[in-house]
Amino acid sequence: MKNREEQEREERRKYALSKFFFSLAKTTILASIIGIILGSILGDVQPKSETVIIMMVFFVVLAIVFAVIGFRILRK
């Protein structure tokens, strides 16, 4: 049986790791939005093209995956 100090250390570790994955999810969404905006401004990508839609769906799914991983780590 773990003593109290080890349990607290384990809780802090899980909290920090889940916080990392939540931050990774936020960064993924932010990077995709900035990439699409810069691509539109520079004229490389049309704002309503299929490529932009596919990129947004991919990055939203990726962000959801990171958030779910963070949530599951926190719930253990």
Q: What is the pTM of this model?
A: 0.81
Q: Please tell me the total count of domains within the chain.
A: 1
- List pLDDT tens digits, range 8-63: 999 999 999 999 999 999 999 999 989 888 888 888 777 677 888 888 899 999 99
Residue partners of 19: CB distance under 8 A and separation at least 6: 70
Interatomic CA distance for residues 56 and 23, integer angstroms? 18
Interatomic CA distance for residues 39 and 37, integer angstroms? 5
**Domain limits for position 46:** 4-75
